[in-house]
Structure 1
Amino acid sequence: MKFLRPFYIKNRFFYTCLGIIVLFVISFLFPKLLAITKLLFIIFLTVFVLDTLILFFARKGIQARRILPEKLSNGDKNPIELSLENYYTFPVYATIIDETPEQFQLRNFRIQRRLAASSTSALSYELRPTERGEYNFGKLNVYISTVFGLVARRFTFSSDEMVPTYPSFLQLKKYDLMAIHNKLDQYGIKKIRRIGHTMEFEQIKEYVQGDDLRTINWKATAKKNQLMVNQYQDEKSQPVYSVIDKGRVMKMPFDELSLLDYAINASLVISNVILKKQDKAGIFTFSKKVENVVVAERRTSQMSLILEGLYNIKTDFYESDYSRLYGNIKRNITQRSLLLLYTNFETLDSLKRQLPYLKGISKNHLLVVIFFKNTELNNLVTEKAESVQQVYDKVIAEKFVFEKRLIVNELKKYGIYSILTSPENLTIDTINKYLEIKARGLI
């Protein structure tokens, strides 16, 4: 019940009123209770007035502030911090209702805290966005009550604020830190020893002071009767593109994120790894046409360009046009490149429709087709069937799981690399495949 805008009657008030009414009714049967009931009613009114005066006596009362990050990380838990200052000279009880963005659909969000007298408190909660875009926060409402708890005074802070949600940069930071502390293997990323030399041979030259003694060519030294060394040049940076299918096959959800968002998050991380390995990183998407192109380069601003490009990817429900993808790659990517194609094939027939274009792309480039396991089907296969219907469902699920393996074999037959992975392991499996290709000197 609301009398004035900042003034709210709490449930305890109504419960107490109901109790006093019941006592008045009982007093008709037991007249001796009437005097006690009247006394309780007077005490109740006195406490109610006192509670109201105490809350509204202080002009300032409470000051609160919401501290938002510059941007949110999609698919990750993002901390939202709140700072509260209690100017009352006695402890109060706060109920905090933050108007979170509508994308979260939090209908019963509230935080309850006891605030010490004349103190400052900091608290936080977490939000996990599941789609990229703009997230608008509303007002921060704080309801303050005393130990009596009959009324509450509302304080409103923080005007509307907008925070953009980007692809998972927290995941990017996590892998960066793991690489710094050499803990990548603990998270499933394999340490792969490079085959051969890390430099390309250029020529044999006379030894001069300062040359690496390990590069001495002993055969040439014997022939020339003077020290000769092998001279190497750094390997040329290779272009690596993350190619993201944004058609309807990538709309399948997993753990509240679409396969498209998993692909976007993985592309951000692998692009950073590619640049750290001295290669050129780029991205583009395709569906009805090729869009969101960031040309593969090694410039210092490349990660910012890739992040902005991934942020602006909008999905659609069209069937992806692989013929247009093939034509665009043939026209615009002239140097042999590694193409990490994020897509999804559910059946062998769906692959065979696009196989001629994939074979055409793989003639000039090293193509890795990355597609997803249907984890729900995998769970169904492992469950024990207890009815005829469950047996039928299990057989169908096994058929689809088997078809995924057939797709891998079909791609391998034509020299096309592939990764069949679950969405949660996509980033790790993609990094491992890139490191493997790099170590084998395939690009």
Structure 2
Amino acid sequence: MSGVLLEEQYRRIGDNLRKYRLLKGMTQEELAEGLCSVSQLSKVENGKTLLKRSLLKQMANRLGVTIERIETSDALLEEIGETLQLARDAQTAGYHQKSLELVNRVIEQSRDFDYKDLMVEGLLHKCRVLINLSRLEEVIELVERVLADEVPQDAANRMLFLIEIGTAHEMNGNKAAAHDYYYQADEAAEAGEGNLDTRLRVYYNLGRCHHSMHNHRTALRYVEKAERIATELSKHLWRIRSTYMKATFLGNIGETEQAERVFLGALKEAEDNSLLIDVGIINNNMGHMYQKMGELGQAAAHYHRAKQVYELLDARRYLCTTLVHLGELALADDDLDQAIAWAEQVFATVRTLESNTYTAEAKAWRLLGLVEQTKGNVDGCIEHLERTLTVYDRHQAVIEAYETAKEIAEILYANGHSGALEMYRRAVAYNEKSLKLRR
């Protein structure tokens, strides 16, 4: 072995010994005891000399690793990377708490040994796990620290952190804050920062955000960008999801024939590839389109198909939305008892979830309000609608709060209630906030 290669081997083994010793919390005296002198171990860790392999193996045993780990180039970096992959695998399998435990270990070790890139990857993964656990305030706090330059990150990773904090605010109901962060990510993408994979995520999330703010044409423009990039990168799942999201937005702007064609194509692909959660979402979204078109029979068929899939997968968060829609169809058919039953099933399902389902909860309260209105019970109607408004107000969902406040005000006015004027004022205030949001 040449002198250069020998020096490299000394340095590699010394670095690995030191890192694993520190990770184990051992002193040099504890590791060297009975094997060599402390001064000799110090020389090994500094890459000045090498121990016999038999002694090295005993040290590896004390450190709880194989000798191959000690002899591998930056073995600790490799091991932490493997832990991060385990965290990702745990999340994919739905073991979010286990994934969080693993990624916290990754972040701590990466910080201790100055593996900056791995630490950033770990922090991004932690954001996604916390979002799955609906611990949204923790995501916001974490990303705010990162964006304050406490954690160095390149332009692409900064965009990803902007998406994560935007998603957390969006799920928490604060669409204004979500839009601000998504817009910052969009500006970076338009400036050419980040790779295509990062831009795909930016455009996809911007499409969702604008859809939630009822900016349907803008939403369509972004999701078409996402679809093109997903196709270019051969990201099959992203492309299918961008496609059926595009169909949803086409339906929202009245292009129902084109939307139907796109939906059916995406549905066939999802079924052919056994993408069951996507089969459920597409059926739900098609049902909603047909419901708005007044084709209630077709709407019901798609909603029941979505319900079957969600129940099969135990996808209760998605199920809540479909149950609300089924309640709306029951109300349209004057089956008030069934409408109430669907609303009660929404509330029962929401109580079993950790994830944020405030939208379904609010819509279920509204459904009950409309049932009471149909019965001629104006006070009961107003009571339930005010609960709807409280939910939206609590989550800063100002567009939905405006629509609900206006609905309450109109019912109060039509029935000669004195509170109509004050509710109109609240509606105006919500509308002013929503207009700022849509700019």
TM-score band w.r.t. shorter chain = under 0.3
For normalisation by structure 2, the TM-score amounts to 0.22
Q: Which structure is higher in RCO with an 8 Å CA cutoff and minimum separation 6?
A: 1
TM-score by length of 1: 0.22
In terms of Rg, which structure is larger?
1
Q: Which structure features the higher share of helix residues?
A: 2
